[in-house]
Chain A
Amino acid sequence: MAITLTHYLVLASVLFVIGLIGVMRRKNLLMLFFATEILLNATNIAFAAISHYIGDLSGQMFAFFIIAIAASEVAIGLGLLIVWYKRTGKIDLDQMNSMRG
């Protein structure tokens, strides 16, 4: 019973569904960041699996750049979140309406 590309893609899509459910049901912004990390990791698994089964290194390269993007997203997002928490005392998504959007 060999593990094929389909197995990995099914796993990646299951993790992606979990992340999307998290994005849609969370109101707390910190929890929303956790869910986006899950989304990025699910695509990373798909990239690495395709890279292995096609025999091409490009998939791993894209996974590296996704990891770099995730790291910068966390740094900037957490900085903004700390500033917002210091100003308002809340990090709920529903109360971020100061721009009347």
Chain B
Amino acid sequence: MFEAIAFYLFAALTIVMFTITVMTSQALYALTAMAAGMIFISAFFFLLGADFLGVIQIIVYTGAVMALYAFGMMFFDTTRNVVEKGTNPQIVFVLGVLAAVMVVTIFVAPIVSNNIQALYPIQENIGNSQAVGMVLFTKYLVPFELAAVMLLVAMIGGIVLAGKKMDKSLTLMKEEEIGGLDEGFEPEAGGH
């Protein structure tokens, strides 16, 4: 009973928050509504017994990703209303529903046909974090290391792209300035 109440409450809250994110014309409203929606999504993970995933959801999404977006939005003009494409809303809705049905079919087909086995079954006597650690550092060690390398690459890429002190960054110059770099041409710092 408690689970049903929690599920419906958080489902309604999440849907409302994400609808605000998608439909609003104010960038700041979209940002805050999405931060709230991420927190509400972690409630589903706690309901499903995936405690570690719920904590990671809160830390990574509302801690890191949202902070990064808020930092990035300082560069943009967020007070201006966001202009949308003039697409037909019915076409958009039909296409969205069709794609979602396709995704659900992909997920449900192995379950319906009973063509699925629990490779790493959840054991009763150990906690979720311990079980996740045991599976992650044995069976999924190589993807884990690859994800670490990917995050490092992403970090370096983010620093190089948005770095402040890199006046001679190739990404900030016009094409002519990059061409004139060899002849000792000094480009002006700061683009816009």
Contact = CB atoms under 8 A, between A and B. Distances in A.
Interface of A: 1-3, 5, 7-9, 11-22, 24-28, 30-31, 33-35, 37-38, 41, 43-46, 48-52, 54-58, 60-61, 63-65, 67-76, 78-83, 85-89, 91-92, 94
B107 A71 contact: no
Interface string B71-96: 01101100000111101010011011
A37 B116 contact: no
Interface of A is mostly: helix
Given A21-B92, A50-B111, A89-B192, 18 more contacts: A8-B44, A8-B48, A9-B107, A11-B15, A11-B44, A14-B100, A20-B99, A21-B93, A27-B83, A30-B69, A37-B65, A38-B22, A46-B104, A52-B50, A54-B111, A64-B53, A79-B158, A87-B172
A17 B94 CA distance: 9
Given A75-B155, A89-B192, A64 B87 contact: no
A67 B56 CA distance: 8
Contacts of B118: 54-56
6 contacts: A26-B84, A37-B65, A52-B49, A55-B118, A60-B52, A74-B65
A3 B141 CA distance: 33
A34 B30 contact: yes
A49 B104 contact: no
A61 B140 contact: yes
A71 B41 contact: no
Contacts of B1: 1
Contacts of B172: 83, 86-87
A54 B29 CA distance: 38
Interface in B5-57: 7, 11, 14-15, 18-19, 21-22, 27, 30-31, 34, 37-38, 41, 44-45, 47-50, 52-53, 56-57
A76 to B, nearest CB: 5
Contacts of B84: 25-27
B147 interface: yes
Contact of B18 (A19, A28, A92): A19
